[in-house]
Structure 1
Amino acid sequence: MSDFADEQWRLIRDDPRDGATQMALEEIAAETALADDLRTVRVYSWEPSTLSLGYHQDADTVDWEYCEREGIDVTRRQTGGGGIYHDRYADISYTIVAPAAEVPGDLMACYELFCEPILEAFDRMGVDADFAASEQDAIYKPSCYLRDINPAHDIVAPASTDGPGGKISGNAQYRQRDVVIQHGSISYDLEPSRHVGVFEGDVDESTFLDRVTSVREQAGIERDEAVDALAASLGEWCDAESSDWRRSELEAARELAEAKFGADGWVRERSEPESVER
């Protein structure tokens, strides 16, 4: 249990939602944390499967025809790095939202704190995982899972071997209105053809398989077991109460998704909407 577990936290085991709404809900949770002194941890998935672009990523790196043909949604995150293909089945995602005043101001220390429940979840899943022991060079920068591996926030498995291990989770943070938001992607399974197919360029599936591993590959458990382990670890870490989004939050997220995270201006050009009335 973390040092700030005496604060008010909620755990949301979210419904599958489209990418724009999932990104919008993070900003709404940030507003709730400040306005109502209510912090959020959640576990979620993407429906339809979604490519989330890094904040600075060039939209020309996307194979738009492939995404349209395969029914893959595209949105843009507030965090940097490369694009992540979030498969409806193969990806498990999470979010942690807390006031900035309550967490370490040092970025690395904050990563270490917020990744505690993620590493604990892997342990419960039976996956030998830890932060990468050393940096690894980028193979293909448009893809988050093929970019350089950073020991500060990238998790690999198995961790106890002499080799570098395969990337199994990427994590990122940003600050929004005095709130720290960390989100991350966990590979439950591998969909190499789609992971490389969403991008322009010729990247062989074997390149992806050489760099990335999954919970299923490492531990052989069912997806529901992995989700349960992650939700339990997050909830116990901050002593959160099981909860759901308020109706007002869902309505605000729908408006923000339409105005920003689902809009071509944001997705293709990182153009912020003038305002969103709520």
Structure 2
Amino acid sequence: MDLADREWRLIPEERRPGPVLMALEEVAARTAVAGGPRTVRVYTWPDTLSLGYRQDPATVDWDYCEREGVGVTRRQTGGGGIYHDAHADVSYGITAPADELPGDLMASYELLCEPLLDFFDRAGVDAGFAEAERPAVHQPACYLRAVHPAHDVVAGDRKVSGNAQYRQRDAVIQHGSLSFDLATDRHLGVFGDPVSAEEFEGRVTSVREHADVTDEELDAARDLAERKYATDAWTRDREDPVEA
């Protein structure tokens, strides 16, 4: 039976604390192994730094996180830390029994990232797996570590999504984050020895940067809002002051 023909559930998560979001992955793995449905979760976070499994906590600026209200948790997957929030980051998780997925890691990534790449295409973002490795700029930050063709998605040669897999209780769990908007100061502030904003923005891009209204459209909209939609004539009397 094709994987797509098996029982799946899509859970659009409400925002939950980072530790709960990570725990839900383990619970979904148990459900899948016990004969329950495979799970796709799409979720956002409160302001949170998720550390890679082996990441040294000394790389974190704990004072900054406490001062700015950024929670910290640790993922089951490796790699560097990722700053998440409800505005700049969208995350997903996919859980299925291990024996239903390719044993080859590259093939597994390609299969499970198909919906992700389809999303970018539908959003008008020309994105795909990195064609070649690139060296790290800043080891503590996931988006600034070495770019890997197996699981890093780039747009215009800059990283827009990081993805990772791990196996637990005979289940495969893949999760990833999509950079919807750049929150440069927050991404860099959570680390104790950050790089410059220029270096960050030279390696990282976002959906908004590639699929947003143009500056000209925004200027035109602001002008029209002031002359029409913000007026009492339109709101109270349904009279169009622009056409009058």
For the structure 1 residues 202 and 187, does the alpha-carbon distance in structure 2 shift closer, same or farther, using more than 3 Å as the test? closer
Unaligned runs of 5+ in 1: 159-164, 222-278
2:69 aligned with 1:84: no
Aligned partner of 2:187: which letter?
H
Give the secondary structure class of the aligned counterpart of 1:5. helix
Q: Which residue is 1:192 aligned to?
A: 184
2:203 aligned with 1:211: yes
2:94 aligned with 1:101: no
2:35 aligned with 1:36: yes
Give the secondary structure class of the aligned counterpart of 2:132. coil
Aligned partner of 1:107: which letter?
L
Structure showing greater Rg? 2
- In structure 2, distance between residues paired with 1:6 and 1:153: 25
Q: Which residue is 2:193 aligned to?
A: 201
- In structure 2, distance between residues paired with 1:188 and 1:72: 19
- In structure 1, distance between residues paired with 2:9 and 2:68: 35
Give the secondary structure class of the aligned counterpart of 1:220. coil
**Structural RMSD (CA):** 1.1
Q: Which residue is 1:53 aligned to?
A: 51
Give the secondary structure class of the aligned counterpart of 1:209. helix
- In structure 2, distance between residues paired with 1:37 and 1:51: 31
- In structure 2, distance between residues paired with 1:78 and 1:202: 24
Q: Deviations over 1:156-200 (max 9, x none)?
A: 003xxxxxx110000000000000000000000000011011001
For the structure 1 residues 202 and 50, does the alpha-carbon distance in structure 2 shift closer, same or farther, using more than 3 Å as the test? closer
2:56 aligned with 1:64: no
Length-normalised TM-score, structure 1: 0.75
Aligned partner of 2:20: which letter?
T
Q: Which residue is 2:174 aligned to?
A: 182
Displacement, 1:206?
Answer: 1.2
The farther-off stretch of 194-203 and 144-153 is: 194-203
Q: Which residue is 1:22 aligned to?
A: 21
- Return structure 1 stretches of 4+ with deviation > 3 angstroms: none
Give the secondary structure class of the aligned counterpart of 1:208. helix
Question: What percent identity do the matched residue pairs reach?
Answer: 64
Q: Which residue is 1:150 aligned to?
A: 148
Displacement, 1:135?
Answer: 0.7
- In structure 2, distance between residues paired with 1:35 and 1:80: 26
Count of matched residue pairs = 213
Length-normalised TM-score, structure 2: 0.86
Unaligned runs of 5+ in 2: 214-244
More RCO (CA 8 Å, sep 6+)? 1
Displacement, 1:6?
Answer: 1.2
The farther-off stretch of 210-219 and 33-42 is: 33-42
2:171 aligned with 1:173: no
